[in-house]
Structure 1
């Protein structure tokens, strides 16, 4: 058995079981305390988590540690399972901690997940597993059943379903129940996956069919109650034949053993059978809705944008496109045509050398060579030297996408994962296909950026000199839409503090088609959960917003009340807040397979409310200045780095959604109401964006860990 060091990593096997832990408590504060641990065992033979009792020495508080060894933590599915458990435990703590219902569930003390051996700490369990109870009187049976159904009602109200309820996870202390097994939580309405064991999991869950339903828990609870009363397990697919012989069971479990969820009663119905009216009297001490004024401010800002007329592109309609073989150079903004006498390719040392295509007689060979070539742009001799990929000059005007933010915001990681998601087929559900503009350049990008990041390596800062110090070209792709039209898309990284440049360099901004403003939560949000990250990176909260945002916005052309460039704001590094609403909700969402403008607007409202409430209006300047601007939650890496690596590997979430929004605004993805209406909310489906239901607030509990052995075993 290994113990745990202060950072959560392993120490020598022969070291004492007394050690020091550093972890985050539910309030977001950091705590360091000595701890002594007892023997360790598997939490469940088929699950990766291990469990051991402990004592926090500074308070003499008994605790239970649920952890993963380094070997188990190398499996992303095992980490996702522990993350899901942490999210569920923290959500229940947030909602129930000050209520009379808190003792029905485990009380989380703290967690440390971004480490080689992640773990959770709970207060000591209350009671013993129902499977160890041999005799229970009728009155206790009724109290046991009432508490169990009360717990199910509370879970249902939060949109959560515990899929692993069994005699091992329901504890009884002689007076009340405590329900464990939070690792099996799933969100109501998600696709079922195989989980649990017969007979305690319902038949459709055992088969992984249909959608998660609160009545799945009713079957499990009924099986636990039946075994508690009779001392034996019930049938796996129907009601026990002797149910009528047991009065308490017959009175309370009518219909609970139906093989399909649709035929079972809801938890509230069974609770009312045990204690009439109890379901209606559940009164959670839900805190006041502090986000309401910020949601209202979002609606008012959208109304102003809807009422404002759209301005023409600078230079008139003709500036939006060019004919006659001319395109706008994405750097100097002068027009440029294909010139076969000004072509270059790179040699083995990545140096430009002239390319003469006149001697290549084979047209297919010539086309292939030119695809990897660049043309030196001489349209503006006073502008810094720059080269344009030849496909830009053969497929028409490119769509330029620029990432904006300080150098510490994680732009490079986000853009790398965004392009990786595209090359993995992420655009295909939306009718788009991709091809590299320059195969050699793309292969180098994958080798130098994508593969190291996917292997968990922190990418180094990339800078440049001259123009590249301000606008660094990253990658370019050819995107084919559903109509068969091809358009080059170029990605640039605008250097943060390097934005204070000459006017010639800033002229690049006049030709940018789409902007991605990356918000670093450590800089923007004065939340205690981020203090540890700030300490590690040497950052402080900046109430004045990202200076790079202001530099870009002030240089963009403006012909009306709003800037007309398409934009997306991204709350990056969202994994740092993955257990906090509304971030937990959106990170827990499954990847979209269709672009829903109303859903996109709903996410924008939630992120707007979070930033306005905690960061202030200065951080929302891009949304306030740009007419079409959506807001998003994204995580490029999935967690904090540790010694230059991401312990869990770099697991991206929602990195493609900002780009999907920009492509929709530019008409490459068809959306209801058309590209012009997108992000402003003028279509009927987007007129009223609903507030999140209470059941939608606990997104972290929705993470499904398919592939973990115990989760799929029967």
Structure 2
């Protein structure tokens, strides 16, 4: 570890301290003067800067672990810091003030969305094992017990530390303390390379199979051998002299098995030392305050199952006759008219297109693919043009985003479309094309690329009649049966939705609604106070005004609206350590739809909103017969001084759209589309289209327990 120049802790007569703002484990914000000491740099597994600090408002000593501005621009480094913070917070909450708590670092606070994110810890206990040459037999017994106990506690939380090494384990002569929690992954997750031989087990080095608690037992055994002998063990087999060390031979001989399946679990090793200890390990389980709300969710689904459904499953009055569709700009009806076609010339000017001289059908189709039609349905509306493919593939499927202007709809919709164009629908048998290549290229240039590069998108002005609906983008989606359908995306400024015939006509033509919930407006949780203060908003107990305005305009059938809907708890990164958000936000993107899992997520979001926000925020779920609830983050973090320091990293932005496409029959789901939203059929997992066509069960979706981790190689020592 190399040191960098930094002023030591100033004395009483030195310069005044800086201010430090951070979030406490309780979710409250704290701002305090701070004095910092000399800084050290640790390169692996992530490039962290480490220094001692004193919080001057109470004199509390701590250690700050942070990323420099340069290092924090790397999304992988930020992801690891997030994992470390989330794991430590989870353990601190579960262990509380029990005797187990000292086995892990205690976090004081964190700031993860700044240009230089950091964590604050209590000072570490003891000495890193890298500085201990050989340990006596008596200490080895206590050390082994504590280390296996720490691994058992992590296993009870479904977690596996991949970074157990001399650099991440500390010893103070009486107790172990396990650091390196950025290495944690979920048990059952696909293995990814981490660490180096001999402390990294063979299967982990190869990145094969699924993470197993016995992976860490190999690492612990190698660490114990190093403490007993002062030497490193072999990278892929038991040490040849293991028999010369009686305690090691008795306790961990099988831990050196090349295959994880042949090793003991942490609990089995612990019970060899102290029979029954593993069974007595108990973690604090906070009361489930959402349980009554889960019951209410199930009761609401039961009422929906009993309600009669419309025969079409679509909004009444949505059909248009004779190939007519709603113009996405002026929202009047329009149909293909070959006398009103145009193409752009080299100067990007519209020129009339005459098809009479194009007799070759292949060339005619190609020309039509790039042509546009001038819409004259509303002579008072500014001149506008519609891509011909939008008019030639039947009635478009219209998806409308609903929510107040501050909810982050634009960012969510931009990332949703970007995920589609990145191939996110392919695992579900869907392919895409741009309706208008020029328009799509402009959308990518003006919206997708700036957001990915870290720029906060500006609020865009509405473009439709009476400023209530803004057309954003349209794509041609081809399903596994070869059927092509345009999908058009709109942003509704619902709180300003005026009661005009045009507004009603548009809403009657909407095929799917996405209601975006802003947690800062909905949830009176202390960890959101800082965001509310920054944005100048307050909790709204009456729900989102846009939701009610839209829902009130739509006719009901059998007591419910028939248009499929999804509710999205957006900006979920603000709550990434809050159950149940932490559970869902860290899941990898879905590759197939599991109705049971989707209803589980819906139940969790319903319980969170009903418990903290109240029934007003659940009005879309109560009003719409088929409605799923989701957790998503368009950016993965919050902006700092007008930018996302590591770019915008979306999480779970496609799941709401996938649910809606499934309800419209464009994604195949076992049990039918209703199985997703109301559980009408037995809950069976969905499979990719190729498996549906074969009729087999291969390739079923495998559930994973944790976030995607970047690949890293070695552990590092905390001074």
Rounded Cα–Cα distance in structure 2 between residues aligned with 1:3 and 1:602: 50
Q: Within 5 Å, give how 1:52-201 maps onto structure 2.
A: 52-201=51-200
Rounded Cα–Cα distance in structure 2 between residues aligned with 1:680 and 1:152: 40
Rounded Cα–Cα distance in structure 2 between residues aligned with 1:158 and 1:703: 17
2:562 to 564, 577, 595: 564
* TM-fit CA distance, 1:485: 0.5
* TM-fit CA distance, 1:241: 2.2
Residues 249/34 of structure 1: CA separation in 2 closer, same or farther (3 Å cut): same
* TM-fit CA distance, 1:117: 1.3
2:446 to 441, 445, 448: 448
Q: 2:128–2:168: 8 Å Cα contact kept in structure 1?
A: yes
Partner of 1:214: 213
Rounded Cα–Cα distance in structure 2 between residues aligned with 1:672 and 1:578: 31
Are positions 1:407 and 2:400 aligned together? Answer: no
Rounded Cα–Cα distance in structure 2 between residues aligned with 1:315 and 1:167: 62
Which string of whole-angstrom CA distances, capped at 9 and with x for unpartnered residues, describes residues 530-589 of structure 1?
Answer: 111111111101111100000111111212121110111111111111121111111111
Which string of whole-angstrom CA distances, capped at 9 and with x for unpartnered residues, describes residues 324-361 of structure 1?
Answer: 54445567877543212234567899887765545656
Partner of 1:390: 388
Q: 2:162–2:183: 8 Å Cα contact kept in structure 1?
A: yes
Rounded Cα–Cα distance in structure 2 between residues aligned with 1:497 and 1:264: 61
Secondary structure, aligned partner of 1:664:
helix
Residues 383/305 of structure 1: CA separation in 2 closer, same or farther (3 Å cut): farther
Rounded Cα–Cα distance in structure 1 between residues aligned with 2:218 and 2:368: 65
Rounded Cα–Cα distance in structure 2 between residues aligned with 1:391 and 1:117: 47
Does 500-509 or 450-459 show the bigger shift? 500-509
Structure 1, gaps ≥5 residues long: 5-14, 688-695
Rounded Cα–Cα distance in structure 1 between residues aligned with 2:24 and 2:355: 65
Are positions 1:579 and 2:577 aligned together? Answer: yes
Residues 703/667 of structure 1: CA separation in 2 closer, same or farther (3 Å cut): same
Rounded Cα–Cα distance in structure 2 between residues aligned with 1:626 and 1:493: 19
Residues 429/697 of structure 1: CA separation in 2 closer, same or farther (3 Å cut): closer
Rounded Cα–Cα distance in structure 2 between residues aligned with 1:522 and 1:605: 20
Q: 1:330–1:511: 8 Å Cα contact kept in structure 2?
A: no
Are positions 1:287 and 2:286 aligned together? Answer: yes
Residues 703/33 of structure 1: CA separation in 2 closer, same or farther (3 Å cut): farther
Residues 265/118 of structure 1: CA separation in 2 closer, same or farther (3 Å cut): same
For normalisation by structure 2, the TM-score amounts to 0.90
1:675 to 649, 654, 673: 673
Does 515-524 or 69-78 show the bigger shift? 69-78
Rounded Cα–Cα distance in structure 2 between residues aligned with 1:292 and 1:446: 43
Partner of 2:593: 595
Secondary structure, aligned partner of 1:279:
helix
Rounded Cα–Cα distance in structure 2 between residues aligned with 1:412 and 1:564: 25
Rounded Cα–Cα distance in structure 1 between residues aligned with 2:402 and 2:271: 56
Which string of whole-angstrom CA distances, capped at 9 and with x for unpartnered residues, describes residues 473-523 of structure 1?
Answer: 000110000000000100000014322443432331011000000011111
Does 238-247 or 190-199 show the bigger shift? 238-247
Q: 2:314–2:562: 8 Å Cα contact kept in structure 1?
A: no
Q: Within 5 Å, give how 1:367-516 maps onto structure 2.
A: 367-377=365-375, 388-464=386-462, 467=465, 469-516=467-514
Does 384-393 or 131-140 show the bigger shift? 384-393
* TM-fit CA distance, 1:444: 0.9
For normalisation by structure 1, the TM-score amounts to 0.91
Residues 299/223 of structure 1: CA separation in 2 closer, same or farther (3 Å cut): same
Partner of 2:697: none
Rounded Cα–Cα distance in structure 1 between residues aligned with 2:516 and 2:673: 23
Partner of 2:661: 663
Rounded Cα–Cα distance in structure 1 between residues aligned with 2:297 and 2:350: 50
Does 586-595 or 158-167 show the bigger shift? 586-595
Q: 1:470–1:501: 8 Å Cα contact kept in structure 2?
A: no
Secondary structure, aligned partner of 2:51:
strand
* TM-fit CA distance, 1:39: 2.1
* TM-fit CA distance, 1:179: 0.7
Does 264-273 or 329-338 show the bigger shift? 329-338
Structure 2, gaps ≥5 residues long: 8-13, 686-701
Residues 473/315 of structure 1: CA separation in 2 closer, same or farther (3 Å cut): closer
Secondary structure, aligned partner of 2:680:
coil
* TM-fit CA distance, 1:250: 2.2
Rounded Cα–Cα distance in structure 2 between residues aligned with 1:177 and 1:629: 49
Which string of whole-angstrom CA distances, capped at 9 and with x for unpartnered residues, describes residues 217-270 of structure 1?
Answer: 111111111211222222211122222222221232131111111011111111
Rounded Cα–Cα distance in structure 2 between residues aligned with 1:332 and 1:442: 20
Q: 1:331–1:508: 8 Å Cα contact kept in structure 2?
A: no
Q: Within 5 Å, give how 1:27-46 maps onto structure 2.
A: 27-45=26-44
Secondary structure, aligned partner of 1:548:
helix
* RMSD (Å) for aligned C-alpha atoms: 2.8
Which string of whole-angstrom CA distances, capped at 9 and with x for unpartnered residues, describes residues 162-221 of structure 1?
Answer: 101012211111111111111111110111111112111111111111111111111111
* TM-fit CA distance, 1:595: 1.6
Residues 315/533 of structure 1: CA separation in 2 closer, same or farther (3 Å cut): closer
Secondary structure, aligned partner of 1:668:
coil
Partner of 1:544: 542
